[in-house]
Amino acid sequence: MDFRYLGNSGLKVSEISYGNWLTHGSQVENDQAKACVRAALDAGITTFDTADVYANTKAESVLGEALEGERRESLEILTKVYWPTGPGGPNDVGLSRKHIHESINGSLRRLKTDYVDVYQAHRYDTETPLEETMEAFADVVRAGKALYIGVSEWTAEQLQEGHRLARELRIPFVSNQPQYSMLWRVIEAEVVPASEELGIGQVVFSPIAQGVLTGKYLPGQQPPEGSRATDANGSNFVKRFLTDDVLNRVQELKPIADEAGLSLAQLAVAWVLQNPNVSSAIIGASRPEQVVENVKAAGVKLEEGLLKQIDEVLGSVVERDPAKTEQNAPQTRPGS
């Protein structure tokens, strides 16, 4: 496993991290989930990403149990706050001072730890003053409950304003967690340049485009039984890629992956790691062998000619519109 600095901070993270969105506490039984975490640890992964909203807090609990007994100083644990949790009352959502303080306490209890390495705003809260949010995060850091602050799916402008306030409050704002893959490149035009200027690193999710870049979804055929596309929670995230045009082009990537000595999934993970602003790529798994396979993308260097071949094959199916970051974010607090 190779390690990278998280933005301009002194914190190193494994360049492949393990996340439990849509798996732990929902799709995958606890014993299997723990086996996946063990496979990640055995593969050299030290960075684990979760969120309070995943399986309505159950995912954090499963991860906490799976990591219990590990040397805490050898791990980097990331979690998030924003989406509705618990019964979904009016203050069970958002980035208010109340919700942030109550949420970090709940996350620490479920994760069985005194602190998280990075506490992340899971989306931008349009209904809470940013000053209130950042002051609450500053208190969390000063209380020793989080070492660094990050966000997820913020626009370049939101990153700039949040970073300015973090500097004034003297707290380390070091990361952004966006969706990023060969098929979804909306961060490249604005978010990445702003992040490079601010010293913010990307911890990217869905590098395999919710499984589409494994090649298992075939044009003109029904999705495989048990796949993300057949899951009630996951299907909303993957359906944008399930067109024959996209799926045909993904199949055309196979000779390129073969040339690189990689599976399609390994090629996809290696591809996002070629971006120097990416500190880590999050992989998920429902089986330990998926972790073992995908982690082989660590340390892979893709030649410029091969990257050009990928661009030529995918062509117009790649989404690059930077406006998608804001368009896909909630404009009002959900469920409150």
State residue 127 phi and psi, 5-degree precision. -105, 0
Whether the pLDDT of residue 5 is over 80: the answer is yes
0.85 exceeded by the pTM? yes
- The DSSP output letter for 16 is E
Whether the pLDDT of residue 168 is over 60: the answer is yes
Taking residues 94-112, what's their average pLDDT? 98
**Amino acid 227: pLDDT:** 60
What proportion of the chain, given as a percentage, has pLDDT over 70? 93
**Amino acid 240: pLDDT:** 85
In the CATH hierarchy, which fold is given to the domain comprising 3-208+265-300+319-327? TIM Barrel (3.20.20)
pLDDT in tens, 221-243: 777 666 665 565 656 678 889 99
pLDDT band (50, 70, 90) for residue 62:
very high
Taking residues 125-136, what's their average pLDDT? 97
State residue 298 phi and psi, 5-degree precision. -65, 135
Between CA 181 and CA 170 the distance in angstroms is: 33
pLDDT band (50, 70, 90) for residue 28:
low
Domain boundaries, the chain: 3-208+265-300+319-327
| 230 close to 223: Cβ distance less than 8 angstroms | yes
Residues identified as active-site: 54
Whether the pLDDT of residue 193 is over 90: the answer is yes
Q: What is the largest CA-CA distance in the chain?
A: 55
Taking residues 167-173, what's their average pLDDT? 98
Whether the pLDDT of residue 33 is over 90: the answer is no
pLDDT band (50, 70, 90) for residue 271:
very high
Segment among 3-17, 233-247, 260-274, 322-336 with least mean pLDDT: 233-247
**Amino acid 222: pLDDT:** 74
Taking residues 31-60, what's their average pLDDT? 94
**Amino acid 135: pLDDT:** 98
| 321 close to 186: Cβ distance less than 8 angstroms | yes
Q: How many CB atoms lie within 10 A of CB 305?
A: 8
**Amino acid 144: pLDDT:** 98
pLDDT band (50, 70, 90) for residue 336:
low
Whether the pLDDT of residue 48 is over 60: the answer is yes
Here the contacts of 215-224 (C-beta below 8 Å, separation 24 or greater) are 215/250, 215/251, 215/253, 215/254, 215/264, 217/241, 217/242, 217/247, 217/250, 218/247, 218/251, 219/244, 219/247, 219/248, 219/251, 220/244
**Amino acid 220: pLDDT:** 78
Whether the pLDDT of residue 27 is over 60: the answer is no
**Amino acid 230: pLDDT:** 52
Which residues on neighbouring strands pair with residue 17, listed in sequence order?
282
Between CA 36 and CA 45 the distance in angstroms is: 11
Look over the chain and give the mean of its residue pLDDT values, rounded to a whole number: 93
**Amino acid 128: pLDDT:** 97
Distance from the Cα of residue 306 to its chain's centroid: 25
CA distances from 331 to 45, 67, 124, 307, 334 (A): 35, 36, 9, 36, 9
